[in-house]
Amino acid sequence: MSEPVRIRQLASVDAIAARDLRLEGLRLEPQHFGSSWEEEAPHPLAWWESRLNGSARWLGAEVDGGLVGLTVVSLNPRMKLSHNGEIGAVYVSERFRRRGIASSLMQSAMEYLKNRALFATLTVNAKNESARRLYERWGFVVCGQLERELMIDGVFYDELLMRARI
């Protein structure tokens, strides 16, 4: 039987666990993130604490008290765009995948945006079929393709822009 998953908002006290999980994702699957391990790894713990206390809401998935997944959800701060939310950095540690954790993170992100935004946007690697299917289950549809959006070690990756009505 699998352990129960708890989704909660992360705070500065979670900075070490959030940093470690985020850097794991950037290191193991760089093609799925706009940031790189090389950019984020050198930052001091205070930088990570500041990110967790910022305007974006970091949601973490815990199993047996350990952080195994995360996502970041934010609202556009600009007045004319304030009805738009964004979901990013969805990552679940490999050994905890295929247990519905990413879906639980998406549910929490969408619930947060429910009374705060009309739309949510995200981007996904065009070849990441499993993530695309997950997002489609939450009502996201492809509304554009960003050709050669990421370049990693000289290899280009397209990103799909997806949007959902909340």
Average pLDDT value for residue range 110-121? 97
Q: What is the pLDDT of residue 84?
A: 98
Rg, Å, the chain Cα set? 15
In the predicted model, is pLDDT for residue 66 greater than 80? yes
pLDDT digits (tens, 9 = 90+) for 25-63: 999 999 999 999 999 999 999 999 999 999 999 999 999
Q: What is the pLDDT of residue 17?
A: 98
Number of domains present in the structure of the chain: 1
DSSP assignment of 46-106, as one string? HHHHHHHTSSSEEEEEEETTEEEEEEEEEE--SGGGTTEEEEEEEEE-GGG-SSSHHHHHH
Phi-psi region of 64 (alpha: psi -120 to 50; beta: other; left: phi over 0): left
For position 77, which CATH number holds?
3.40.630.30
As a whole number of angstroms, the longest Cα–Cα distance in the chain is 48
Average pLDDT value for residue range 121-125? 98
| Average pLDDT, rounded, for the chain | 97
Contact in structure between 88 and 122 (CB atoms under 8 Å): yes
Q: What is the pLDDT of residue 1?
A: 45
Q: Which domain holds residue 111?
A: 5-165
What sign does the dihedral 127-104-60-110 (CA atoms) show?
positive
Q: What is the pLDDT of residue 2?
A: 64
